Amino acid sequence: MYTWFQPMIDLLAYVLSWTFDWTRDWGVAVIVLTLLVKGVLYRFNLLAARQQVRSAAASPELSKLRETCGNDPTKLVQETTKVYGKYGINPLSSALSAIIQMPVLMAMYGLFFKHGSTMTSILIPWVAHLAEADPFHLIPIATGLLSFAVSMIPLADVAASMSGSKRLLFGIILLLIPLVITWRAPVALGLYWLAGSVFSLLERLFYRTSTGKRLLRRGLPEAAAT
């Protein structure tokens, strides 16, 4: 099952062993590995976040186009393309971060499934080793709740146009995904996801600062960026 991901598994295993050499705890090593992976993928996450902000900023113009050009599909497509160009929206790039992270997640699962039985951590004393599923499901529940909390924080004021009900539904989906995936998975995978969620929370809070907002709005039309 993991043959396709074996080169990535080997790379992650090497980096994890390296982090263990100076942390002397496999749980801490997993957290450090998570931060390294997040650092490598940060650029892609930033691009995805900018796409969300740009789509939100363009939403009023797109809604107006649907009202005025709804009966002329050809013109609607042409005008929508112009708006996308104006705001720098690339519909495909918003999914790039998720697409890139899926092989990493699968490789992490393979890594911990194959080698986690030799790993222990004082961070998770209620499991015998890190290949074991969390018997109390504390890590999966914490991961799901933290993912939900992250989804409730808008990227920036311009991205807060999503209605409360839609944001709540989106948050529930983001709560269930890690909960279901990590419920019976190796606890190390849950720890990896939990550490990544903490990173995402700090990242989201940074984007709420003036510096973060300027970073997100870079490339927006001047009227929308203010």
d(Cα 208, Cα 156) in Å, to the nearest integer?
6
Ranges of the chain with pLDDT below 70: 1-3, 94, 156-164, 222-226
Q: Taking the complete model, does pTM exceed 0.85, yes or no?
A: yes
User: Do 164 and 144 form a contact (C-beta atoms < 8 A)?
Assistant: no
Residue 90: predicted pLDDT: 84
Q: pLDDT tens-digit profile of 122-163?
A: 999 999 999 999 999 999 999 999 999 998 888 766 554 556
pLDDT at 222: 63
Running DSSP on this structure, what letter comes out for residue 152? T
Give the per-residue pLDDT at 211: 92
Contact assessment for residue 117 and residue 129, using Cβ atoms and an 8 Å cutoff: yes
Q: How many CB atoms lie within 10 A of CB 102?
A: 10
The predicted pLDDT at position 183 comes to 96
